[in-house]
Chain A
């Protein structure tokens, strides 16, 4: 299974909005509504931020939102805050397996 494609890095200033893309194929992202997004701070375990394309787990800020169009999913973070600086990974279900994106480093300027 090939990894999903994410930009290596994105950046934004506090208060701004940013979007991270996650591109797969019709066999993964495009074929199922099972895209998740994880946030990972250095030295920490990943944290689930979005599941099933656009659902937020309890306790996750509504500044985080997810969407999908065709084979590309997106994570949008609005009202950027310093604590949002982290690595972000998308993942997609694909016929009994899971594939991750390569990860995107978000820098808050």
Chain B
């Protein structure tokens, strides 16, 4: 069965970076894009960007351009999302999701990133 398993919760100080992983299983990792979506507590969903695991091509939402980097390691079927220059407003649950961005059919369990001094 398709599964996306994300890394555990993180606590970071303002200005630091965080790197969240998303390990895929149950399908061919390079056949589907990986998207990243975040959700602040009590707030809505916010799309951050996508990555093609086969080519490594990426596309980032304008809001995160210059601060986010999406990469992958195909040998271990794992995608990564790194967000830099963290601020308190980046405190949120970060999800990875499989699919083209208009059709995200499987989601990870979410990773809570807390930014606090």
Contacts and interface: CB of A to CB of B under 8 A. Distances in A.
Contact of B44 (A3, A36, A48): A3
B105 to A, nearest CB: 5
Nearest to B60: A97
A52 B97 CA distance: 17
A98 B108 contact: no
A97 B105 contact: no
Contacts of B110: 45
B7 to A, nearest CB: 15
Interface size grouping (class) on chain A: 20 to 34
Interface residues of B, number: 21
A45 B103 contact: no
B57 to A, nearest CB: 11
Contacts of A101: 44
A89 B109 contact: no
Contacts of A91: 45, 47, 102
Interface in B17-62: 35, 37, 44-47, 50, 59, 61-62
Contacts of B59: 96-97
B69 to A, nearest CB: 17
B45 A100 contact: yes
A1 B64 CA distance: 12
Contacts of A92: 102
8 contacts: A36-B103, A40-B45, A45-B108, A46-B104, A46-B107, A97-B62, A97-B101, A98-B102
Given A38-B45, A97-B61, A97-B101, 16 more contacts: A36-B103, A46-B45, A46-B97, A48-B103, A51-B102, A52-B103, A91-B45, A91-B47, A91-B102, A92-B102, A97-B47, A97-B59, A98-B35, A98-B102, A101-B44, A103-B44
Interface of A: 1, 3, 32, 34, 36, 38, 40, 45-48, 51-52, 57, 89, 91-93, 96-103
